Amino acid sequence: MATVERRDVYALGERWHPILRAYALAVGVMRTLPATDARSLAYQASVHGVGDEADPPPDSFRGQCQHNSWYFLPWHRWYLFYFEQIVRSLLVDIDEVPAEVAESWALPYWNYARTGAGRLPPEFAAPRLWDGRRRNPLFDPTRSPAVNARTARLDPRQTVPGVRVLRQPFSSTSPGVATFGGTASGWHHFREPGAVAGGIETTPHNDVHGFVGGNMWRFAEAGLDPVFWLHHCNIDRYWEVRGHATDPSGWAAVSFDFRDAEGAARTVDADGCVDTAGQLGYVYDDVTPPAPPTPGQRVRATRSAQMAESPPPELPPEVVGTRGAVRLEGARVDAPLQVGGVSSTFRKARGGRSEPQRVFLTIEDITGDINPGISYGVYVGEDADDSMLAGLISFFGIESTRAGGHALGYTFDVTDIVSALRDDDSWDPADVHVIFRPVGPVLDEEEPDSGDAVPVEVGSISVVYQ
Ligand SMILES: [Cu+2]
């Protein structure tokens, strides 16, 4: 198998690089194929999600995306793999594309953490192709207007995984434990009750969906936006940045169905995609870990680098404090809660010790009607300072939370934040401050701050000891 290299779209070195010209022309063909053809953009989007009145009706190939689960990364890796093969197979028949470009074509990725790359890549924002004449298939008019106008960019905190996320356990059976890849679960399209997203699905994944807007807000339409594939390629890259030393075992019990470039059925599993070069024939040009996005987050990174490694993910956690509903509407909200002591079961599991090795913050039962298009920073302590920023919450898929009761949920490791508060004598278990504050997008034109955003509800906030 020949190996292709996936490259950073912002480092291709020229406007309308041959890789993007080829991608635009292939997407142009995909847009014209009928939805019954597995190579069409409509079919490919329906592999991720289908609407209420899906035509043709869903089968085991469509409406399959895995979220809020340890299958998030492997399922989307296979999804990109077949999409990339389809693009390459279509390119061979497009005369305008040089043969050497078609044969070695690989999906580029959008690394929004690169300096100057926080705006939509320009080739996706132009309504016309390089000739100034033909319509640009990479343009999606449903995106937020400021994103297409390139007057909005991501806040740096939305562009990289949270502090420590790349070193967290890949998975855990408990949603109270912060992970890299998501809660261990069965096959689940949206969310198995009690499961939460892994840190990589949280940020930057969900934040970027919220930033782009339009089709990118919804499961059933996200794949219609050609930038979806470059965004997910960057998320996939982070699995290589982390490496595979601690990938889960036992997760190949669930398999996934896809259609390949010939329309043939393929059944695959999570173990079959962990070696990109050996099993799938691609590599990334750069897998350098990202730098913390702000000075405050740098302080956190330094603090947490001094902490011991995470305990085994199956060491049972315990909820020590919880509070109910908070409504977020675009302004800062303070949500105080009380933390109590641990149970005798907790102590027994740790040979009599009651000090936790890890402290987690869970933000659960998040519901709403539509994506507000912003993220909220979640802070612990009274200052809402970036060195106390636990992580971001954002709202990809929130429109599905009303129907089946499958709300969104996130878990953050706040161990280093709590110990910094303790060292500072500002940790009072009877009065723990959790603060929500809007983050992103950054607009060129400073809009008069109305402080309004489409509301979302947070059902419960808990402190968990492990
Ligand atoms: Cu996604």
What DSSP line would sit under 285-326, residue for residue? S--PPPPPSSHHHHHHHHHHHTSPPPPPTTSPPEEEEEE--E
Distance 303 CA to ligand 1 centre (A): 31
Tell me the one-letter amino acid at 20. Answer: L
Provide the 8-state DSSP code for 385: -
User: Do residues 234 and 110 touch, judged by C-beta distance below 8 A?
Assistant: yes
Average pLDDT, the chain: 94
Residue 236 is predicted with a pLDDT of 98
Four-residue CA torsion sign, 184, 189, 138, 102: positive
Structure tokens at 54: 């899906």
Task: Give the Cα separation of 302 and 416 in Å (integer).
Answer: 10
Task: Give the Cα separation of 395 and 378 in Å (integer).
Answer: 14
Task: Give the Cα separation of 209 and 372 in Å (integer).
Answer: 11
270-325 pLDDT, tens per residue? 999 999 999 999 999 999 999 999 999 999 999 999 998 889 988 999 999 999 99
Distance 151 CA to ligand 1 centre (A): 23
Tokens 């909820």 sit at which residue?
319
Q: What is the average pLDDT across 169-189? A: 89
pLDDT at residue 191 is higher than 70: no
Distance 412 CA to ligand 1 centre (A): 20
Task: Give the Cα separation of 64 and 46 in Å (integer).
Answer: 8
224-265 pLDDT, tens per residue? 999 999 999 999 999 999 999 999 999 999 999 999 999 999
Residue 272 is predicted with a pLDDT of 97
Distance 443 CA to ligand 1 centre (A): 23
Task: Give the Cα separation of 233 and 322 in Å (integer).
Answer: 37
Residue 445 is predicted with a pLDDT of 81
Distance 408 CA to ligand 1 centre (A): 14
Distance 397 CA to ligand 1 centre (A): 9
Task: Give the Cα separation of 459 and 466 in Å (integer).
Answer: 22
Beta-strand pair 282-284/456-465 = unpaired
Helices 41-48 and 18-32 pack at an angle, to 10 degrees, of 90
Distance 233 CA to ligand 1 centre (A): 10
Largest CA distance in the chain: 73
Distance 228 CA to ligand 1 centre (A): 7
Task: Give the Cα separation of 411 and 391 in Å (integer).
Answer: 9
Please compute Rg for the chain using Cα positions: 22
Query: Taking CA 436 as the corner, what is the angle to CA 202 and CA 212, rounded to the nearest 5 degrees?
Result: 45
Q: What is the average pLDDT across 151-158? A: 98
Structure tokens at 450: 């109305």
Residue 328 is predicted with a pLDDT of 98
**CB-based contacts of 370: which residues, under 8 Å, 6+ apart?**
217, 398, 399, 454
Task: Give the Cα separation of 27 and 40 in Å (integer).
Answer: 9
Distance 231 CA to ligand 1 centre (A): 7
Distance 21 CA to ligand 1 centre (A): 24
- From the list 161, 173, 176, 159, the residue with the least C-alpha distance to 239 is 161
434-453 pLDDT, tens per residue? 999 999 999 998 765 556 89
Structure tokens at 197: 């997203």
Task: Give the Cα separation of 83 and 60 in Å (integer).
Answer: 17
Task: Give the Cα separation of 449 and 149 in Å (integer).
Answer: 20
Distance 308 CA to ligand 1 centre (A): 32
68-109 pLDDT, tens per residue? 899 999 999 999 999 999 999 999 999 999 999 999 999 999
Where on the phi/psi map is residue 101: left (φ > 0), alpha (ψ -120 to 50), or beta? Answer: alpha
Distance 50 CA to ligand 1 centre (A): 14
Distance 204 CA to ligand 1 centre (A): 10
Distance 47 CA to ligand 1 centre (A): 12
> pLDDT exceeding 90 applies to what percent of the chain?
85
Distance 74 CA to ligand 1 centre (A): 13
String of DSSP letters for 114-155 = STT--SPPHHHH-SB-TTSSSB-TT--TTS-HHHHTT-EE--
Beta-strand pair 4-6/282-284 = parallel
**CB-based contacts of 240: which residues, under 8 Å, 6+ apart?**
276, 284, 287
